[in-house]
Amino acid sequence: VVPRIITRSAPGSVYRSPQLYARLRPDMDADNSTDALATVWRQTYKGGVWRPCIHNLTNSLPESNGYIYVEANGGLNQQRTSICNAVAIAGFLNATLIIPNFHFHSIWKDPSKFRDIYDEEHFVKRLQNDVRVVNKAPDFIMERFGHNLSNVFNFKIKAWSSSTYYKDVVLPKLVEERFIRISPFANRLSFDAPPVVQRLRCLVNFEALKFSNPIATLSETLISRMRERSAESNGKYIAVHLRFEEDMVAFSCCVYDGGDEEKKEMDVAREIGWRGKFTRRGKVIRPGIIRMNGKCPLTPLEVGLMLRGMGFNNKTAIYLASGKIYKSEKTMAPLLEMFPLLQTKETLASDEELAPFKVLSG
């Protein structure tokens, strides 16, 4: 079954950025007077320094209601959100959380474990007064399930479920089984949650999650080198995270300017990454509406146009963080024209420095 793709054009529904860039390029090259790096942070927060709303607990924890195992899916940002939500849910249900597992995605093919990315010892220690966290379920629990996780009851929870749902539906099953799984576990908790849940989310995000030493050390090295290469702007630079990887383009169902070749590649990527999700009977895809609603990933060209529109000139140093950019040879060309001082981890670090991380990601 092939989904219907509605492609009739409407005002603002067609990707016209290359034409816009061609029209604006002469003016961009002629105007390098604005020093946006000196002005962009001029309006500081008048209330002082932003601080997370965390207060520490010293009370001992009550007896646990059981163990919760979650499988965090998605990219690094989704995984981080999943970890925050998993801790919040475990604390709310007075459960013991097993260190979250990361889903091995067919597109990313990243076998990294929690300890490869985060400081696991710090994570457990920082949460010890709030939520019990263990590396694995104890043997006496696993014996009940034949030491096989697939035998453990798995909750299929809708996205953005309320904390009330967890209390009324998940908790009774947790108490009964003493061990439950929740997989997949991305965006499975609503933003609207009681203060006790929000506090735990905040605690995890700001204090419990620290990158592992190898990642933190290389990060400091990259920052130091970017500052050295930003001497003209007193060590200031822009860090940009592009979201124009193949999986993002495919999942969005947006149409760019690649024609039939792009369509074929995206159809294949969608089927590999989300088998059947986009081809089920009655599915209608409206790329024009998606674009008009502002839900299409920005191309590198569009990011460049936005930054130049903010006043950043072609002498601005940029650190680019992202995965493998879709059609990078073509799509990155205009961004490099607008910002020739752009750097990536590959240009800042040696092959030897990057090698340990390439082993992790396959």
Domain ranges of the chain: 67-210, 214-244+298-361, 245-295
Neighbour count for residue 148 (Cβ, 10 Å): 8
Rounded to an integer, what distance in angstroms lies between the CA atom of residue 136 and that of residue 155? 19
What global pTM score does this model have? 0.86
pLDDT of residue 362: 47
Residues 6+ apart with CB under 8 A from 197: 88, 89, 91, 92, 163, 189
Q: How far is CA 140 from the centre of its chain?
A: 36
Please, are residues 301 and 336 in contact by the beta-carbon 8 Å criterion? no
**Is 52 exposed, middle or buried, given 0-12, 13-18 or 19+ CB atoms closer than 10 A?**
exposed
Rounded to an integer, what distance in angstroms lies between the CA atom of residue 135 and that of residue 58? 23
Render each residue's pLDDT in the chain as its tens digit; 362 residues: 556 655 566 767 899 999 999 999 998 878 766 677 777 766 666 666 667 667 777 678 999 999 999 998 877 888 999 999 999 999 999 999 999 999 776 556 778 899 999 999 999 999 999 999 999 999 999 999 999 999 999 999 999 999 999 999 999 999 999 999 999 898 899 999 999 999 999 999 999 999 999 999 999 999 999 999 998 889 999 999 998 999 999 999 999 999 999 999 999 999 988 888 898 888 888 999 999 999 999 999 999 999 999 989 999 999 999 888 999 999 999 999 999 999 999 999 999 999 988 865 54
pLDDT of residue 53: 66
Please, are residues 319 and 226 in contact by the beta-carbon 8 Å criterion? yes
**Cα torsion 131, 132, 135, 138: sign:** negative
pLDDT of residue 343: 97
